[in-house]
Amino acid sequence: MDYVVAFPTNKNWFYAMSQPKNCWTDQHIDVIFYYLRKKSKLRSMDQYRYTTVKCLFSAHINNTHDRYYNNEADDDISTQEHLDRARAVSVHERSIINVMKGFSIPAGLPWHLVDDVYIPINYDGDFHWVLAVVELNKRLIRVYDSSLGTRKRVYSDEIKKLSRMLPSYLIDSGFFENNERTNWSVLDAYKDKQTGVPLESHIPFNIEYAEGIMQQEDDSLDCGLYVATFAEFLSDQLVIPPDTDGHLANYLRNRYAALLWRYGSDKVNGGYISDNDDPPKPKGQFTTPTEDDIVNID
């Protein structure tokens, strides 16, 4: 079946979605987030607008962060190794910037034309999915965690990396130069509270956790399901309720699996294909830096 961002070949893909105690993969989340993106593209400029990204976006952020902040041993490597690492990280940087411009992912919207960005993030150490919503008007990352009640509330490394890297890549993508919908530079969130001057790129986004939202049962493996559910509620500007129904997760699993199975089957039987709504991707170029250009950030 053709879902543009994933192509399941058997019913096991849908079985994993519908049955309890089965983890959702990044493909399941990517498919749902793709259709949420398409819904947002139908809205006018004066309505609430959002966009989503693929699960791989977080990996791009992690790789660039590790290149610039976590390589204490860089002083001991050769110039050629520096160049090799710079070449490797440029691929991730180009991917981040293209996504921010609305390229690279089907049905993508440029970030300067939306209010929020929904980013699925996996805590690698725990294999736990959370939803990070970048509220651009507030310069804030709001984290929606379905197991917050059973976990120690600490900012994960993945969230902190996102918070630290976003300001630089917003600048590099030309985000602040595009003011046709929002004049970002005049917003108080992007100014120093004492001096009123624009915040520098090394100032990370603020982070907050959403409170009073539905929570998964212990050891239920429903984190991916709740990431999709949170995103769907927010996309319709609905308040996420606390989970007072122990059968809600089973209902949601069956709902998503049934909807996608029905839609995919109708596409196959109807013999039509998807328009992926993917804008042209600019050709990337890599310029090999000189030794003087290499900067090691402490």
226 HSE (CA, 13 A, CB side): 29
H or E element, residue 37? helix 26-41
pLDDT tens digits, 73-113: 555 666 666 667 777 788 999 999 999 999 989 999 999 99
According to DSSP, residue 130 is labeled E
pLDDT at 253 over 90: yes
Output the pLDDT for position 294: 40
First to last CA, the chain: 48
pLDDT tens digits, 159-178: 999 999 999 999 999 999 99
Cα→Cα distances 115→9, 41, 129, 230, Å: 36, 13, 23, 16
CATH class of 12-293: alpha beta
Residues 25, 297 contacting (CB under 8 angstroms): no
Residue 175: helix, strand or coil by DSSP?
helix
pLDDT at 124 over 90: no
Split at pLDDT 50, 70, 90, the class of 14 is very high
Residues 185, 191 contacting (CB under 8 angstroms): no
| Positions of E strands within the chain | 50-52, 116-123, 128-135, 140-144, 206-209
